[in-house]
Amino acid sequence: MSESIAALISEVEEDRTLEEVRKAMDENADPLSIVEALRAGMSVVGDKYETGEYFLPELVLSAEIFKEAIALVEPLLQSDNLATRGTVVIGTVQGDVHDIGKNIVATMLKCNGYEVHDLGVDVAPQYFVEEARETGAGLVAMSGLLTLAFNSMKDTVDALAEAGLRDRLKIIIGGGPVNEKVLEYCGADAYGKDPSEAVKLANQHLG
């Protein structure tokens, strides 16, 4: 199942991908395994785009297929989560509109029993602060794919500190160019190299 879904979305086969996702759901497959298969396929798409095998149309269409597939799976996730393990605020930081990685992380967190408040993309620091305060979140997760996102991440960490929230929550960051140096610059608590690691970090801090 997983290999089939991953292969189909990596080949940008919309109808066949969604058909395979529905089939997996009918067979009571673990929702997390479906999400992971979609993530694996999207990773292949990203590789093909970087090497010039795929172009922008394939990238955009694959992202749409991913969103459609996740929309099918999400009701199962919501019904499975009888008790929340904690509250997470997530978003792509100001100046960046990339959302595929952020969407995968948000969905996988839901799979693992977290209440997730997704702020979307191009999120200014004050909106992270407001949502963290209103929801009482124990974890803020920030995503960014552009190098200019690093300053926005730092500004958001600083804003959370100025609002008096820094001591009661953990902050994780992620995105393709994020590394240990970016983590140190931003002042966050940890960074995830991929969606699975982001979930592990959430489990460490909230689970």
Per-residue pLDDT tens over the stretch 137-164: 999 999 999 999 999 999 999 999 999 9
Q: pLDDT, tens digit, for every residue of 35-62?
A: 889 988 988 888 888 799 998 889 889 8
pTM, entire model: 0.74
User: Among 111, 124, 120, which Cα is nearest to 151's?
Assistant: 124
Which of the listed residues 26, 61, 80 is the one where a domain comes to its end? 80
Q: What is the mean pLDDT of the chain?
A: 90
21 with 55, same domain? yes
Which of the listed residues 47, 80, 113 is the one where a domain comes to its end? 80
95 with 129, same domain? yes
| Domain residue limits at 54 | 2-80
Higher pLDDT, 194 or 77: 194
pLDDT band at 79 (very low <50, low <70, confident <90, very high): low
* Count of structural domains, the chain: 2
Q: Residue 48: which CATH number?
A: 1.10.1240.10
DSSP secondary structure, 115-179, as one string: EEEE--SSB-HHHHHHHHHHHT-SEEEEE--STTHHHHHHHHHHHHHHTT-GGG-EEEEE-TT--
75 with 114, same domain? no
Q: pLDDT, tens digit, for every residue of 180-191?
A: 999 999 999 999
| Predicted local distance difference test score (pLDDT) of residue 68 | 93
| Predicted local distance difference test score (pLDDT) of residue 35 | 87
Mean pLDDT score, 24-29: 94
91 with 171, same domain? yes
Q: How many CB atoms lie within 10 A of CB 68?
A: 13
pLDDT band at 101 (very low <50, low <70, confident <90, very high): confident
Kindly state the greatest CA–CA separation across the chain. 49
104 with 148, same domain? yes
Q: Is the pLDDT of residue 81 over 50?
A: no
User: Are 61 and 12 within 8 A, CB to CB?
Assistant: yes
pLDDT band at 88 (very low <50, low <70, confident <90, very high): very high
| Predicted local distance difference test score (pLDDT) of residue 83 | 60
Which residues, 6 or more positions from 131, have their beta carbon under 8 angstroms from its beta carbon? 89, 117, 119, 137
45 with 93, same domain? no
27 with 107, same domain? no
> Sign of dihedral through CA atoms 128, 94, 153, 58?
positive
Among 56-70, 72-86, 117-131, 157-171, whose mean pLDDT is lowest?
A: 72-86
